[in-house]
Structure 1
Amino acid sequence: MTPAEAIAMLDGQLAEHGEDCILRRKEGSPLVDKDVTVRALVRGLRAEDIVGTATQAWSKVVITMTQVMAGGWPSGHVLAPGAADPRIPRTNDFLTVKGKQRQIMFADPISIDGTVVRVNLTVAG
């Protein structure tokens, strides 16, 4: 499976079964919100997922980079060789789900042949 095929397949599933959420990064001084609407699949944690500090108020989320890249999120960043991709959501970014802002606790980008095809997030709140 090529990266493009994997992204197209997941985008189709998210279009059919997902929901619109707002991905937000707060940056700068004073803080400025940088937002993009993404299609996401949001599911609560299962009993076996609740370990350590995780609670039932946490959720697992799946997104692709399709809307992130199309929206130029977050604006003003340059991709430097060898540096972390600033477009990948990170800890302390936020995801608004059904009107409730939730903090991203963990982001796990999944790649095929060096292309991010999916990002698994854990959000709290």
Structure 2
Amino acid sequence: MTPLQALAALDLWLAEFGSPVILRRVTWLDGVAVPADVEMPAMVRGYQPHELTGSTVQGDSSVLLSPTPIIKAGWPGVPSADGTDVRVPVRGDKLVIAGRVRNIEAAAPIYVAGELVRIELQVSG
């Protein structure tokens, strides 16, 4: 499977089975907070008891996203000198799930042949 095929399959699956969420990053412009939102489908689930660790606690959720809506929206990111992929949410970004603002605690980008094809998040709150 090529990266484009993997991404297309994920996009179709999320469109059919995902729930709507809003990915939010707050940027600052002349001292004013400006939220940048991207509406997208996502798969959201709670963690199973055996998945709970010191940093993953009851009430946290696992979220699967496609990078496609993020890229299409030109979601804000500051190019990083250390090579960090600015398309990937970071700790401190927010995810609105069913009207509830949740905190992104961790993100794990998944690459196939060097192409970003999915993003897994841990959210809390």
Same fold flag (TM > 0.5): yes
Correspondence for 1:40: 42
Q: How does 1:95-110 map to 2 (within 5 A)?
A: 95-110=95-110
2:56 is matched with which residue? 54
2:13 matched to 1:13? yes
4+ residue runs of structure 1 moved beyond 6 angstroms?
Answer: none
Please tell me the root mean square deviation across aligned C-alpha atoms, in Å.
1.5
In 2, the alpha carbon distance for the partners of 1:94 and 1:5 equals 29
Question: Unpaired runs of 5+ in structure 2?
Answer: none
| Residue 26 of structure 1, CA deviation | 1.1
For structure 1, the 5+ residue unaligned runs are none
Number of the residue aligned with 1:84: 84
Specify the SS of the correspondent of 2:64.
strand
Partner of 2:25: 25
Q: Which residue of structure 1 aligns with residue 2 of structure 2?
A: 2
Q: Aligned partners of 2:64, 2:118: CA distance in 1, in Å?
A: 7
Opposite residue 106 of structure 1, the aligned amino acid is A
Distance 1:78 1:24 in 2: 15
Deviation at 1:80, TM superposition (A): 6.1
Partner residue, 1:70: 72
C-alpha displacement of 1:87: 1.6
State TM-score, norm by structure 1.
0.91
How many residue pairs were aligned? 123
- State the shift of 1:53 in Å: 3.9
